[in-house]
């Protein structure tokens, strides 16, 4: 039996409602793509370039959500520096919103 680990995220209500029960699978694949397609230094550099004002505005209006991931993804997320978690959550949500527009789920 495969064990899953939870990651608490801030996301938009639009993404959460749009994906419904498919929120976790789409979020899991997005998180994995973000964390594993780049080296740690490249990822941190990319996240540091995201506009802080947009991130803070998103964070104030976002909703809490939980995504379930595998152990390696969870470990990689936990080792991400705290100052990069908000920009990462913002970027994950932007990617999810783009996927939502590309794929009509319902």
40-93 tens-digit pLDDT: 999 999 999 999 999 999 999 999 999 999 999 999 999 999 999 999 999 999
List Cα–Cα distances, 54 to 7, 29, 60, 94, in angstroms.
22, 24, 10, 11
Domain hosting 52: range is 5-102
Q: How many domains does the chain have?
A: 1
| Whole-prediction pTM | 0.89
């Amino acid at each position: 039996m495969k064990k899953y680990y939870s990651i608490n995220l801030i996301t938009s209500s639009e993404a959460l409602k749009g994906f419904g029960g498919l929120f976790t699978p789409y979020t899991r694949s997005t998180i994995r793509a973000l964390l594993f397609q780049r080296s740690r230094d490249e990822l941190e550099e990319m996240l540091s370039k995201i506009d802080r004002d947009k991130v803070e505005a998103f964070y104030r209006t976002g909703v809490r959500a939980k995504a379930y991931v595998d152990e390696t993804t969870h470990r990689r997320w936990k080792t991400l520096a705290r100052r990069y978690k908000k920009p990462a959550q913002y970027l994950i949500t932007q990617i999810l919103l783009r996927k939502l527009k590309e794929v009509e789920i319902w």
